[in-house]
Amino acid sequence: MRLSLILLLVIVNTLSMAQTKKISPNKSSVIQSVEKHQADLIAISDKIWAYAETALREYKSSKELSDYAQAQGFRVTRGVAGLPTAFVAEYGSGKPIIGIMGEYDALPGISQKATPSKEALEKGAAGHGCGHNLFGAGSLGAAIAIKELIAQGKLKGTIRFYGTPAEESVGGKVYMAREGLFNDLDVCLDWHPDVEIGASTQSSQAMVDFVVEFKGKAAHAAADPWNGRSAVDALEAFTFGVNLLREHVHPSVRMHYAIKAGGDVPNVVPEYAKVWMWVRDSQRTGVDEVFTRVKEIAQGAGMIAGVEAKVTVQAGDYEILVNRTGASVLQKNLEILGPITYTPEEQAFAQKIQQEQGGKIVELDGKIYPLRETLEHPVGGSTDVGDVSWLVPEITLVATTAPKNTAWHGWSVVACGGMSIGHKGLVIASKSLAMTMVDLFENEQLRKDIRAEFEKRKGTFVYKPYIPEGPPPIPTDNK
């Protein structure tokens, strides 16, 4: 019995030593740093969750993050690229320069309490239905962990945190990219809230955001309609043409629109109409092809109705250029950390949400998913992270912050982002990203390998942002 006990202790001790060998001192330090700042990071995330500021109005959210970065010793530059709510926080000097991005904009109209049943926190207000309150705070936590190692002389180089607004709208990173703010990075990282955990090896959809306006001539709809030229006639012809086009595009294409102006009263021939539209595809080249057709449809619709047609590009995102070399390093660090465990109360919260939304009841997914094959055609969604990925090598993480079988960009994600389910995703993201940055700072050959894959995938392509000339469209009402 005594011999068996001794043997068991030897085995346990051997396993513990093997586990310890997997984590370097610097990685242990960044894990401890995230845990040290965890309460502050969660508090910042919760404040941003409560502010729920939409694109280009994230003044309080940006201030929470930038003030905390400055308090931790970062050099902070606010209002970069003509964006009042964008900032860059930097520490250290020289190469390598590793960047990490954080978002913090909310979505309109989905205000929700941190409860498993639909109940607005403030009726009609915005909510964090994409978890960006967690995103910004989690990334900043990783940057702080690296900053502390640089301050201690254990790492050499520069850590740079990018506060990037308006991902859900005009794409703040695109304006920052146009200003060259990412150009000197060796590698950039980010993460996004999700229903699973893993290093992302999937691209996103490229997208162009534009408006089509029609200007005609008003007239009395009963007395002299022949003197009028209906802008709404052109709008209807345009949307009909777009819907006919759906038969003749690749399955990867997505086209969606919202009518923003379509006349005021029935007895006046409307002189103005406006439709807001997005076109997406797996690659920018596919978007360009479809957009060309759509512009032709707009001009044709104007001719049909005898009115003026105008197409104006508002924004656009490139698809993400995947870097599997970087993803594999991130994946190894995730596996060292291991899965998220959830309490019975958290599981019940998630399953109540699934029940409320009519989804299949499954447990919260806290396991680490293996590195996956990169698909030719990604499943839905566009992001301005894509633009950054064509300038520098980009590594992306996804981490569980909400249950499966519920609607993203909806109240369920808002609810989870304001309580412990979302907080746990923030923490694992912060730790794994910081551990990966340790690898990037310490291993020059790794940086070279990541850059080599980036250059091979990019080829001779020269990046050009898909935004109009001039400053960003900053709202003047600040509401």
Only one residue has tokens 């005609």, namely: 216
pLDDT tops 70 at residue 19 = no
pLDDT tops 80 at residue 203 = yes
As given in the structure block, the two tokens for residue 315 are: 């924004």
Q: What is the dihedral of CA 427, 80, 283, 256, to 10 degrees?
A: 90
pLDDT tops 90 at residue 335 = yes
d(CA 60, CA 66): 10
pLDDT tops 60 at residue 205 = yes
Other beta carbons within 10 angstroms of residue 17's beta carbon come to 9
pLDDT tops 90 at residue 15 = no
- For 153-185, the pLDDT digits (tens) are 999 999 999 999 999 999 999 999 999 999 999
Confidence at residue 155, expressed as pLDDT on a 0 to 100 scale: 98
Confidence at residue 476, expressed as pLDDT on a 0 to 100 scale: 87
d(CA 297, CA 154): 60
> Is residue 66 a contact partner of residue 88, using CB atoms and an 8 Å limit?
no
Average pLDDT (320-329) is 98
- For 353-392, the pLDDT digits (tens) are 999 999 899 999 999 999 999 998 888 899 999 999 999 9
pLDDT band for position 479 (50/70/90)? Answer: low
Question: Which percentage of the chain shows pLDDT scores above 90?
Answer: 93
Confidence at residue 22, expressed as pLDDT on a 0 to 100 scale: 75
Confidence at residue 477, expressed as pLDDT on a 0 to 100 scale: 79
pLDDT band for position 478 (50/70/90)? Answer: low
Average pLDDT (289-295) is 98
pLDDT band for position 234 (50/70/90)? Answer: very high
Burial of residue 409 (CB within 10 Å: 0-12, 13-18, 19+) is: middle
> Is residue 232 a contact partner of residue 273, using CB atoms and an 8 Å limit?
yes
Domains identified in the chain and CATH numbers? 20-202+319-458 (3.40.630.10), 206-316 (3.30.70.360)
pLDDT band for position 76 (50/70/90)? Answer: very high
Confidence at residue 336, expressed as pLDDT on a 0 to 100 scale: 97
> Is residue 163 a contact partner of residue 190, using CB atoms and an 8 Å limit?
no
Nearest to 173 by CA among 244, 72, 96, 100: 100
pLDDT tops 50 at residue 21 = no
Angle formed at CA 204 by CA 203 and CA 206, multiple of 5 degrees:
125
Mean pLDDT of the chain: 94
pLDDT band for position 134 (50/70/90)? Answer: very high
Phi, psi (rounded to 5 degrees) for 78: -100, 155
Average pLDDT (310-339) is 97
pLDDT tops 90 at residue 231 = yes
3-state secondary structure the chain: CHHHHHHHHHHHHHHHHHHHHCCCHHHHHHHHHHHHHHHHHHHHHHHHHHHCCECCCCHHHHHHHHHHHHHCCCEEEECHHHCCCCEEEEEECCCCEEEEEECCCEECCCCCCCCCCCCCCCCCCCECCCCHHHHHHHHHHHHHHHHHHHHCCCCCCEEEEEECCCCCCCCHHHHHHHCCCCCCCCEEEEEEEECCEEECCCCCCEEEEEEEEEECECEECCCCHHHCECHHHHHHHHHHHHHHHHHHCCCCCEEEEEEEEECCCCCEECCEEEEEEEEEECCHHHHHHHHHHHHHHHHHHHHHHCCEEEEEEEEEECCCCCCHHHHHHHHHHHHHHCCCCCCHHHHHHHHHHHHHCCCCCCCCCCCECCCCCCCCCCCCCCCCHHHHHCCCCEEEEEEECCCCCCCCCCHHHHHHHCCHHHHHHHHHHHHHHHHHHHHHHHCHHHHHHHHHHHHHHHCCCCCCCCCCCCCCCCCCCCC
Of the two residues 9 and 402, the one the predictor is more confident about is 402
